Amino acid sequence: MTITGKKQLSGSISIAGMKNAATPILAATLLVGDEVRVHNVPDITDVRKLLELLESLGVAVQHEGDSLVLSAAHIDPTALDQQKVKSMRSSVLLIGPLLARFGELTIPEPGGCNIGNRSLDAHIAVVEQFGGKVKKDGEMYSFTMKRPSSGTIILPEFSVTATENAVMAAVLAKGETNILQAAAEPHVQDLCNFLNACGARIRGIGTHELSVEGVKKLHGAEYAIIPDTIEVGTFAVLGALLAKKLELSPVIPEHMTAVLYKLHTLGVPFTLKGNRMTIQSGGDLSSFKVWTGPYPGFPTDLQAPFGVLATQAQGLSLIHDPMYEGRFGYAAELRKMGARVIQADPHRLLIEGKTELFGTHIKSLDLRAGITLLIASLLAEGESVIEESEIIGRGYSNIAERLRAIGADITEDNQ
Catalytic residues: 113
Query: Whole-angstrom Cα distance, residue 228 to residue 49?
Result: 19
| 386 touches 3 (CB < 8 A) | yes
Beta bridge partners of 2: 385, 411
150 secondary structure, DSSP code: P
**DSSP-derived secondary structure for 177-222:** EEEES----HHHHHHHHHHHHTT-EEE-TTSSEEEEE--S-B---E
Per the CB < 8 A criterion, the answer to whether 411 and 385 are in contact is no
Contact 71, 58 (CB under 8 A): no
How far is the C-alpha of 83 from the C-alpha of 88, rounded, in Å? Answer: 10
Which DSSP string do the residues of 382-409 spell out, in sequence order? Answer: SEEEEETGGGGGGTSTTHHHHHHTTT-E
Cis amide bond preceding 216, omega within 30: no
Distance from C-alpha of 378 to C-alpha of 100, rounded to nearest angstrom: 47
Q: What is the CA radius of gyration of the chain?
A: 21
Whether the CB-CB separation of 319 and 303 falls below 8 Å is answered with yes
What are the phi and psi torsion angles at 203 (to 5°)? Answer: -120, 160
Residue 40 near residue 17 (C-beta atoms within 8 A): yes
Helix axes 229-242, 303-311, angle to 10 degrees: 10
CA 65 to chain centre: 22
DSSP 92: G
